[in-house]
Structure 1
Amino acid sequence: IRFWFFLFFYYGFYNFIALFMISQYFHLYSLNWWPKTLGSNFSMFMLWSLSMIIGSIMYYTTELYKSPTAWVLLTFCTLHLPLIYAFISVRKETRNSYRQSLSYAQKLFMYATENRLPSSYKRFLWFCATFLLSLSALVLGQAYATYYTIHGPNKDIWWHPLIYNYSWTCIVFSLDAISDYIVEFKIRSWALTYTYRLYYSMIYFIFYRNLFFQLRSKTQFVVIQCASSLWVMINYPARMSLTFFKITQYFGNSRTYENHCRNVGRSFFIRNLTENVTMLAFLCWTNILFYGANFKFYKVFDNVYLDTEKHAFVSKSSVIIWIIELLCSYITRMLFKKVYNHSITREAVNDFNRYPEVIWVLMLVIIHVLQDMLFALIKLESLK
């Protein structure tokens, strides 16, 4: 693959979608990050052009262009520029200034000024925190996947994939829980809560799907899927129970039981959505790329990683896993409906009817994170 084709087609389109997605995040927060004199389109074009220029410099001056993590870091830095400009704009508009002048005593005891910060400014600071946290997760995931791709699991040790899967699960779910708490209780935005949950779920599943390339035996596939299926069918119904709800109340949960059930149902719906989207993309891309003319430029299709027999094994195993996931999803939905009288599909339709603007943002999040799945497969060492 020519470097310039990679830069403008692969990375250029990847960065464009990322910038567009970030702009929609700001839109959900009801804040424009771009200068009024330039407008949104020209501002995004300027940032996109800047990333292309830096990518070109990397190609001519360093060997960093051969590292996927370096490109993800470049996107990470590019996406922070809108946040930096928005922060400067908020400061200039004095949204963080005190509502009235301070007395000498208040200036002397600065703790008295803490509660004088406008709530809108505090919400914006929390928004910045979740923004930084979400982008950091993507960089961390890329570095984690790169490390695992290089070293790979031991085909004779069945528990190696479990270490990768569940260590990454703990990391993603921890970041998701922190972001979920901040957005729901500090920012108080249902739309942002929904999109962040989808974002973290997508990040988890793209690296989980790419793990399939590294599995070497049927036992490893069985162990991975059995653990995942049992987790879904036990975890989500148990979390919707009245007993679990009372436990969460003990730790400060202020929701009603009805809202608690809706919250668990939304989490399950998002998991189903990301499971199906990532698996469909995984199967389509791996087969299209494997049988295409450029299969040699994707690291997982190197003879060291994958041959025709291995490709058939991965494809068939993935289809079987998908069927099992669909079956587990159906069983869990029936448990929700029969035991708790809660319909996951009906609740999701009601949510989208109330907040139709979220649908467009969810589509951008899905496209952007799926691009990371494809981006992780490219063998950048082959760029010319």
Structure 2
Amino acid sequence: MRKIGHAVAWCALPFPQYEFPDDDNVVDSPLAIFGHKIPGHGEARVEINFWFFLFVYYGFYNITALMWITKVFNIYSLNWWPKSLGFPLTVSIIAAMSIAAPIPFYCIPELRYITSHNTAWICWTFFAMAMPLLVAFAILLNHERHLGLRNPLSETQRLFTSSWWTGDSDTINARDRPRRANVIRSQSTFDPNASLEVALASDDIYRSRDAQRMLRKRWLPASFVRFMWFCSALLIAILTYLLGETYAEIYLRTLPHSTIETLVYVYSWVVTVHLLDGLCGWILGGNEGERVGSYPLGWIFKLYFALTYQTYVRALYARLRSPQQFIYLQIMSSSFLILLAPLTISAPFHSLLTLLGLSGQSYTEYQKFCTRNIFLRGLTENVSMLTFLGSILVLHYGANKDVYPYFAFDTPIAPPTNQTLSSITDKFFPSIPHLPHHLPASNTPPINAPPQYDFRLTFYASIVTWGCEIVAGWITRRILWWGWKINVTAEGKRDLAAWPELLPTGVVVMVHVLQNMLFSIVRLEFH
């Protein structure tokens, strides 16, 4: 509950707001004249204080993102900051740089328009989150770990490499080094009493392969390869967030949608997230010695992807126009869970994956991963729905209603008739060509029509949807218990007890993902 409260309280911080100047009065703007209401996330209604946004709102968002990266590095068992500077100073420098970067864009009038785009701020956060990766990479290069170590690794150092699990060393043993002097001596001297030896071509091939293997081991130690796999998983996770922003922007810019279009959007996003989640899961691995080979990291990344998927679906609820759309979405979601969860955890399905080469785990290990996924799905459903309900309440009735017009649920203004439109355009825009009067009548509902997006519908339908999700999750867990004697909740608690660092890292990850959704719909127009 505390993590949900942090995200909701963050978006509820009252912004210093200002009315638009007289020359920007919306009454005389084309949007007001044509009765046009920007769909989706809405247009900015007020100007906000840039410095409050930068240091309070965006500053807390950036710090949370950096804490997420740091906690993930902690699970990886690697400190990304330079030892000479320490963590507080290093993270303070990166946070200060990320906050200072947008200031020139605001101070230069020709570039100020960039600060009105949420995508620009998200990209700045993306670069800030990538800084720990670059710093850690630079530290590895500076220590020349990728060139091979001349001294054997200590027991503590080997804890951070796959050599601890595989029994290999990150150094080249003395017996494996080529003895160049002996080779030269044997080639340059002749012993008439020596026995005859025949040099085969295959011997050269074997020597060449051994040399290549030693070079690969010298230039790419296991610790460096493992770190590069870890960085690739982090970059995929960050890019997933940017991809989610693109999906949401496309959907919101093209509202309203029919039920079929809504289903296509939702489940294309579901497929995309699951494919990227599967790729990250393959990179992280679940067994020691596999690429990254960290079950706790796989747990955290699975939580990140599941919550990213859920938060964007929750935000979609605010733009559903009828109970039927809620019903169709929930029927498909609950049906997939109840039917697919027992199917995917069954032994025949595991055998099929093994036959296709998609899984190298034993059936017991595979069952544990499936159980973990079901546990995290239920957790993210509850967290995302609680945050969604809390955020629409505080933003619809709170002081930031005009800053978040997405949750204002205003009645759209019907456009005027053709003749009225012509008279208004003649008055304010004489250069615009006249509209033909023989056009068919508009299908726009009358002005006293009910709101297109209704707060009561969204709020109460979301509560009903949440109840259906809880019931579907309970049914799924009962099926798994009756069929396989698997207790999903007990498995989740066992993971949290075995790896205590999962809890604080999971809290930071959830706060960050929930902030992502709320940050993407705030309307930025600075005073």
For residues 377 and 162 of structure 1, what CA distance do their matches in structure 2 show?
21
**Residue 411 of structure 2 contacts residue 453 of structure 2 at CA under 8 Å; is this kept in 1?**
no
Of residues 49, 60, 66, the one that matches 1:2 is 49
- Secondary structure (helix, strand or coil) at the match of 1:186 reads coil
Matched, 1:190 2:295: yes
**Mean Cα deviation higher: 246-255 or 37-46:** 246-255
Question: Which one has the bigger helix percentage?
Answer: 1
**Residue 477 of structure 2 contacts residue 488 of structure 2 at CA under 8 Å; is this kept in 1?**
yes
Q: Which residue of 2 aligns with 1:356?
A: 500
How far 1:307 sits from its partner (Å)?
Answer: 5.8
How far 1:152 sits from its partner (Å)?
Answer: 2.1
Of residues 175, 187, 199, the one that matches 2:304 is 199
For residues 174 and 6 of structure 1, what CA distance do their matches in structure 2 show?
35
Q: Which residue of 1 aligns with 2:98?
A: 51
Structure 1 letter corresponding to 2:235: L
**Mean Cα deviation higher: 69-78 or 280-289:** 69-78
1:63-82 equivalences in 2 (<5 Å):
63-82=113-132
Structure 2 letter corresponding to 1:220: Q
Q: Which residue of 2 aligns with 1:131?
A: 234
Structure label with greater radius of gyration: 2
How far 1:274 sits from its partner (Å)?
Answer: 0.5
Structure 2 letter corresponding to 1:81: M
Unaligned runs of 5+ in 2: 1-47, 149-170, 181-206, 413-449
1:158-200 deviations in Å (ceiling 9; x for gaps): 2111121111111111110000011013100111000000001
Q: Which residue of 2 aligns with 1:163?
A: 264
How far 1:106 sits from its partner (Å)?
Answer: 6.2
For residues 379 and 476 of structure 2, what CA distance do their matches in structure 1 show?
14
**Residue 153 of structure 1 contacts residue 161 of structure 1 at CA under 8 Å; is this kept in 2?**
no
For residues 312 and 74 of structure 2, what CA distance do their matches in structure 1 show?
28
Q: Which residue of 1 aligns with 2:382?
A: 276
1:15-34 equivalences in 2 (<5 Å):
15-34=62-81
Change (3 A) 1:315 1:97: same
How far 1:153 sits from its partner (Å)?
Answer: 3.5
Q: Which residue of 2 aligns with 1:114?
A: 216
**Residue 130 of structure 1 contacts residue 179 of structure 1 at CA under 8 Å; is this kept in 2?**
yes
**Mean Cα deviation higher: 189-198 or 254-263:** 254-263
How far 1:308 sits from its partner (Å)?
Answer: 10
How far 1:301 sits from its partner (Å)?
Answer: 3.2
Matched, 1:296 2:296: no
Q: Which residue of 1 aligns with 2:425?
A: none
1:303-336 deviations in Å (ceiling 9; x for gaps): 3679697011110110111000001000001001
How far 1:358 sits from its partner (Å)?
Answer: 1.1
Q: Over the residues paired in the alignment, what is the CA RMSD in angstroms? A: 2.2
Structure 2 letter corresponding to 1:67: H
**Residue 308 of structure 2 contacts residue 513 of structure 2 at CA under 8 Å; is this kept in 1?**
yes
**Identical aligned residues as a percent:** 32
Q: Which residue of 2 aligns with 1:241?
A: 346
How many residues align? The count is: 381
- Secondary structure (helix, strand or coil) at the match of 2:259 reads coil
For residues 32 and 319 of structure 1, what CA distance do their matches in structure 2 show?
43
1:185-223 deviations in Å (ceiling 9; x for gaps): 310011100000000111111111111112122222111
Matched, 1:287 2:402: no
- Secondary structure (helix, strand or coil) at the match of 1:214 reads coil
TM-score between both structures, scaled by the size of structure 1? 0.94
**Residue 318 of structure 2 contacts residue 453 of structure 2 at CA under 8 Å; is this kept in 1?**
no
The structure with higher relative contact order (CA 8 Å, sep 6+) is 2
For residues 377 and 309 of structure 2, what CA distance do their matches in structure 1 show?
10
**Mean Cα deviation higher: 170-179 or 213-222:** 213-222
How far 1:350 sits from its partner (Å)?
Answer: 1.1
**Residue 345 of structure 2 contacts residue 367 of structure 2 at CA under 8 Å; is this kept in 1?**
yes
Matched, 1:41 2:41: no
Structure 2 letter corresponding to 1:225: Q
Q: Which residue of 1 aligns with 2:322?
A: 217
Q: Which residue of 2 aligns with 1:374?
A: 518
**Residue 106 of structure 1 contacts residue 113 of structure 1 at CA under 8 Å; is this kept in 2?**
no
TM-score between both structures, scaled by the size of structure 2? 0.69
